[in-house]
Structure 1
């Protein structure tokens, strides 16, 4: 199984959760029919605006989906940049081990 560092986690102006890997690209992830998509312009995975699921649920879903469907583990590092992510959510995400 491959690994890639997450260089950025963001909640954007549309209230989507974005996860930006350092090198890997996942343009075909939409085929999983999981509501996870790839933004070619920003080179990141993203969720829809949360409805029933929390941002933490979406984070878990995205990184788990990449493990099962793409055989790649996405890793948070000390240099991961956090944009518009509340501190409590940041802590919860860091505590999750996929």
Structure 2
């Protein structure tokens, strides 16, 4: 299983959660039919704006899909940037990632 760093986690102006990997790309991830998509311009994995699921659930879902479908583990680092992410959510994501 490969590993890749997460450059940034962002909630964009449309309310979508975006995760940008350091080196891997996923232009065909839509084929997994998991509601995880690839933005070729931003080079991010993204989810729809949450309705039934929280941002934390979408974050974990994206990581799970990439691990299962692509055999890549995406990891936060000390250098991961957090864009439009409130401190509480950042703490939840960081804690959940440590428990994976």
Question: Which TM-score band (shorter chain)?
Answer: over 0.9
Aligned residue in 2 for 1:33: 33
Shift of 1:74: 0.2
Aligned-pair distance for 1:68?
0.5
What TM-score, normalized to structure 2?
A: 0.96
Which residue of structure 1 lines up, in the alignment, with residue 51 of structure 2?
51
Runs (5+) with no aligned partner, structure 2: none
- Partners of 2:66 and 2:8 in 1: how far apart? 16
Q: Tell me what 1:8 maps to.
A: 8
Instruction: Give distance in 2, aligned partners of 1:89 and 1:45.
Output: 18
Task: Tell me how far 1:16 sits from its aligned partner.
Answer: 0.2
- In the alignment, which residue of structure 2 is the partner of 1:42? 42
Pick the structure with more strand per residue. 1
TM-score (ref. length: structure 1): 0.98
Q: Secondary structure at the match of 1:77?
A: coil
Cα distance in 2, alignment partners of residues 93 and 29 from structure 1: 22
Runs of 4+ in 1 over 6 A off after TM superposition: none
Shift of the alpha carbon at 1:33? 0.4
Unaligned runs of 5+ in 1: none
Distance in 2, matches of 1:51 and 1:67, equals 24
Paired positions, count:
98
